[in-house]
Amino acid sequence: MFRSFWTLIAISVCFLVAFSLVTVPAYADFKVGAAKTVITPDPLLPISGGVGPGREATSKKGELTARAMVLEQGETRVAIVGLDLLGFPSVLSNRVRERIRDIPGENILVGASHTHSAPDCYAFPNPATGGHTGDLEYMDFVCDQIVEAIKQAYLNRQPASIRVNTAEAEGRIAYNYYAPDLYDRRMSVIQAVDADHQPIVTLVNYALHPEVLGTGPGIVSPDCIGPMCDKIESEAGGMALFMNGAQGGMVTADNRNLQEPKEDGRGYWQDQRTWEECLRIGHQMADESLRIIKPAKEQSNPDLYCKAEQIRFPVDSPLMWAIITASPLNYPHNDDQSISTQVNLINLGNIQILTIPGEALPNIGFYLKRKMNGKHNVLFGLTNDAFGYIMTEVDYYSFPRYKYISQTSLGEQTGEILIKEGLRLAKEAPQPE
């Protein structure tokens, strides 16, 4: 009787252990949280489309936002932040990193959508006035809102799995202004879902300049990215997040009016710079992202790996060096006329992500994706820094069309260094699942 009693207890314990292994979700160790905050200035500020003074803003369409996604697996935590801004330099990102205690600073990735309808966060020096083009109080406000979004996303984290897929986005979304077909049509979509398989966050990675409106109309706006996020959130649920890709020179939103070619005979068209065109392109992006992610299978408890390194780039451009040394933001720089900036390599399940500290030309993007080691290779452009265009040495000042983007590139070795160091980081990382 005594032996039978303990035998029964042992069988019961084994049954409970086995039952718990069956019922506890396999993805319980992997967590995701998401949150967003508004960064629209009030009152409105001048908007920037590049180096130089901004254009006075007279109205707004949509809200500029900071959208944060926090990933956690065991002791590894990563935050990905997307901003509706032209660019966000590392000197500001570092202010954010210093205020986050629960995530290592080097694991916080801050990227800009590159909308041309938002205030300047570079503080470009203005030789004509002796001042600069930025509003430093607004930049402090943006940092505050990013910190709030990351902290809230961290508090919101919950057990999750991920779904991911990459495919060509269809319809008129983007084109290359310099050579219409020279751009990457592939869209990668990363979606985190909860225990009920409902979206927590949908991240869309695609390369384009969100400049449907541009600075001309004087409208503060997230451009086509705002309508894209709104439609994803209304149709799929959860939060939407956009991270740009290799959109340099000049992969832009396809707002051409193909019925109105310009009269120079060189294959250029008049642009449709309207909010209605923002809605068309943004909604097309949303539709394509949801179509692309639909057949993806869930990856439970995906491995999460994040490596950060400071990469040094020489600065050949007099214009870029003047911005670095004269901006009131006090950009860190080296005595040998170079800068150092953070580059991250992330593995998430079968995805491999490499950050780009500026606007890489499409040929660099195609090459990096072809040589990286994930089933899905993803580039986060304008992330952790925004040091102008990134070109290979054979493109640098090679023909007149590239004069401006060469002037606003750090130098002819920028692309070569990025390729070499980025692929080294990819090679040294664990093989993605």
Q: Which parts are annotated binding residues for Zn(2+)?
A: 114, 209
Whats the size of the chain, residue-wise? Answer: 433
Phi-psi region of 346 (alpha: psi -120 to 50; beta: other; left: phi over 0): beta
Q: Render the burial of 180-210: b for 16+ CB within 10 Å, e for the rest.
A: eeebbebbbbbbbbbeeeebbbbbbbbbbbb
Phi first, then psi: give them for residue 338, nearest 5 degrees.
-140, 165
Q: Give the type of residue at 36.
A: K
Contact yes or no for 315/410 (Cβ under 8 A)? yes
CA dist 143 and 120 (Å) reads 14
Residues placed in the known binding site: 114, 209
Beta-carbon contacts of residue 405 (< 8 Å; ≥ 6 apart): 248, 249, 250, 388, 389, 391
Helix axes 362-371 and 414-428, enclosed angle (nearest 10): 20
The owner of tokens 């959508």 is 113
CA dist 411 and 390 (Å) reads 8
